[in-house]
Amino acid sequence: MSGYRGPMRVLSGIQPSGGMQLGNYLGAIRKFVELQHQYECYYCVVDMHAITVWQDPEKLREQTFHIAASYLAAGVDPNIATVFHQSAVGAHAELAWIFNCVARLGWIDRMTQFKDKAGKDKERASVGLYTYPVLQAADILVYKATHVPVGEDQKQHLELSRDIAGKFNHDFDADDFFPLPEPLIKGPGARIMSLRDGAAKMSKSDPSENACIFLSDDSDVIARKIKKAKTDSEPLPSEPKGLEGRLEAANLVGIYAALSGKPDADVLKEFGGQGFGAFKPALAELVVEKLAPISAELRRLEADPGYLQQVLRNGAERAAAVADPVVAEVKEIVGFLP
Ligand code: AQP
């Protein structure tokens, strides 16, 4: 974090581009809950990121409530952490423009997520999808956040945020104005893979409905998806090195380990030598046991949009009170008139 001496702050967000999925929960939200007791935390629903690919407006509103409700259902306390939706705090977009003029084209060209999401037809992708990681840097740095809990897929974007912060500090001779934010990635669940393809990450917008477990899935749906999960025909090994090259098996064992709090080695001590016919029902039972209380709370909260709206409004006010003065200072630093 170089010589930065400001408060330790956490910022993270999830896109309302679909239902909250197990990867988002294990890779991100579970960490949000722990961190709220250690740092000043800002958790946003990143609706401006979501529209980098087409979103039906009515669904976008619903999904924004759904993601906010999922934060709370998983244990984020809006009286401790600041919970809000990104578009309600204009400072994110203002700083993103200035960062568009700091970031270099070559840096953005290297971002692999754009290549993955744009696919073969990148000429037809939105400009927003291309500059997405610059907006992400603004989301973080507008709060001068020092720590960012994310899944492994976001590592490259976090490096870019550090580069942008460093270049801004250097170009404007503004020593340590922005911290160089640290990613918080490590831990079980940092990379949960699709149930249909062990080489692709679990994603809420995966077109295959059996690829992904959603927080809103009921116990029958969870059991069915796990039963249908792709696997090989070998029994489970009794040690982690036996999972090498067995992507799907490694993913299921990883999910079991992340939810049970046991290392992979202990899971394999228990299930090594057994086939998926025995392991899958045990996994389904564990997933249902861990997710059921969260889904019940999620349903309760979603039935009360008035409360969710109030949480988001209060959060946006608190967030703007921190972000607006940072943007005002940035404008002065770059030479804009007040
Ligand atoms: N499969 C995953 N394993 C671990 N962590 C994951 N995250 C996402 N998928 C996994 C983490 O969840 C946070 C929010 O992600 P996001 O919604 O902003 O964007 P994403 O990474 O693109 O998530 P999805 O579900 O794949 O969304 P779509 O389908 O819309 O692209 C991040 O911290 C991410 O690392």
What CATH number is given to the structural domain containing 101? 3.40.50.620
Interatomic CA distance for residues 159 and 267, integer angstroms: 33
- The residues that are catalytic are 117, 201, 204
pLDDT grade for 24, boundaries at 50, 70 and 90: very high
Q: How many domains does the chain divide into?
A: 2
- Give the tens place of pLDDT for each residue, 61-80: 999 999 999 999 999 999 99
- What are 50's two structure tokens? 């979501």
Cα of 317 vs centre of ligand 1, distance in Å, is 26
pLDDT of residue 1: 54
- For residues 129 and 239, state if they share a domain: no
Interatomic CA distance for residues 283 and 291, integer angstroms: 12
- For residues 328 and 313, state if they share a domain: yes
- For residues 99 and 145, state if they share a domain: yes
Whether 97 is covered by a domain: the verdict is: yes
Whether 162 is covered by a domain: the verdict is: yes
| H-helix or E-strand spanning residue 99 | helix 91-100
- For residues 167 and 256, state if they share a domain: no
Cα of 151 vs centre of ligand 1, distance in Å, is 7
Pocket test for ligand 1, best of 86, 203, 206 (most atoms within 8 A of CB): 203
Whether 38 is covered by a domain: the verdict is: yes
pLDDT of residue 110: 94
Cα of 63 vs centre of ligand 1, distance in Å, is 15
Q: Whose CA is nearest to atom 23 of ligand 1?
A: 203
Cα of 273 vs centre of ligand 1, distance in Å, is 33
Q: Residue 83: CB partners within 8 Å, gap ≥ 6?
A: 43, 44, 68, 71, 72, 76, 311, 312, 315
Q: What is the atom index within ligand 1 of the atom nearest the CA of 190?
A: 4
- For residues 36 and 58, state if they share a domain: yes
Q: Which residues line the pocket of ligand 1, CB cutoff 6 A?
A: 14-15, 17-18, 21, 23-24, 26-28, 46, 150-151, 153-154, 190-192, 201-205
- For residues 114 and 176, state if they share a domain: yes
**The pLDDT of residue 2 is above 80:** no
pLDDT of residue 8: 95
Q: What is the atom index within ligand 1 of the atom nearest the CA of 49?
A: 18
- Residue 196's alpha-carbon distances to 33, 152, 188, 200, 254, in angstroms, are 29, 19, 20, 8, 15
Bigger pLDDT: 116 or 236? 236
- For residues 76 and 146, state if they share a domain: yes
- For residues 89 and 51, state if they share a domain: yes
> For residue 254, what is the domain's CATH number?
1.10.240.10
Whether 4 is covered by a domain: the verdict is: no
Bigger pLDDT: 120 or 149? 149
- Give the tens place of pLDDT for each residue, 128-170: 999 999 999 999 999 999 999 998 889 999 999 999 999 999 9
Cα of 215 vs centre of ligand 1, distance in Å, is 14
**The pLDDT of residue 320 is above 60:** yes
pLDDT of residue 187: 81
Q: What is the atom index within ligand 1 of the atom nearest the CA of 18?
A: 30
- What are 17's two structure tokens? 């581009």
Q: CA dihedral defined by 50, 178, 182, 24, rounded to 10 degrees?
A: -20
- Give the tens place of pLDDT for each residue, 212-244: 999 999 999 999 999 999 999 999 999 999 999
- For residues 173 and 238, state if they share a domain: no
Pocket test for ligand 1, best of 11, 12, 14, 202 (most atoms within 8 A of CB): 14
- For residues 132 and 88, state if they share a domain: yes
For residue 72, give the nearest of 261, 303, 286, 258 by alpha carbon: 303
Interatomic CA distance for residues 253 and 267, integer angstroms: 7
Residue 230 is part of which domain span? 219-299
Pocket test for ligand 1, best of 47, 63, 153 (most atoms within 8 A of CB): 153
- For residues 37 and 140, state if they share a domain: yes
